[in-house]
Amino acid sequence: MLEILIELLSLILIFFLPGFLLTLIIWPKNDSPSKEHNLLVKCVIGIIFSMIISIIAGIVFYGVSSISASPEVQSIRLWLTLGVISIIFGYISWKRGGLRDLVGRRPLAAKGKLSIDEELNRLSIEKRRLQEKIALMESEEYKSDQVLREEAAVRIPMLKKEIAGINERIDELIEREEKGKDGERTV
């Protein structure tokens, strides 16, 4: 059983994790209309990046091991290196917001199973998060930097449109909840 877990972890480290975290560093925001499609694209690109990172690490270790006394590439060194790279990439992607946004999302299967209260709570958290982004983009830091100011000019209207959509959904849920309560009283 332990061997299977080690092999599974090895496959994840070699073929997925470092590259996927690198994609979250390069493209931290999930701004596309189809967020699930965007995640799939990041996964595919992450697999490609992971294989490239693993190949480069293997070449480096082969070069180092040919100079040293032991001519073989030790898999434990490769795993540790890929693990450290993944931790570093994970930290950077968390700071840039890509991993934080991914962790904050609900799984696809659970979306349709939320109660009205859970959905309202999720929407209010998302709305607050977007309002905080707008506040940051309206801060002096963004106003003083030309590039950030241009980014804010483009992103703030998109964020406000997203907030308006959230407000509409909240209104729909409140209306549905009130209709449900009225139906309970008449029974």
The list of the chain residues with pLDDT below 70 reads: 30-37, 65-73, 104-114, 181-187
How far apart CA 6 and CA 175 sit, in angstroms, is: 51
- 3-class DSSP state of 74: coil
Residue type, 94: W
Distance, first Cα to last Cα, the chain: 56
pLDDT value at residue 51: 93
Which DSSP state fits 49?
H
pLDDT value at residue 70: 60
**Token digits for 175?**
């209306």
Report the phi/psi class of residue 97: left, alpha or beta, with left for phi > 0 and alpha for psi in -120 to 50: left
- 3-class DSSP state of 145: coil
H helices of the chain, in order, are 2-15, 17-26, 35-67, 75-96, 98-104, 116-137, 140-144, 146-186
pLDDT value at residue 113: 58
Can you give the residue ranges of every domain in the chain?
2-104, 113-186
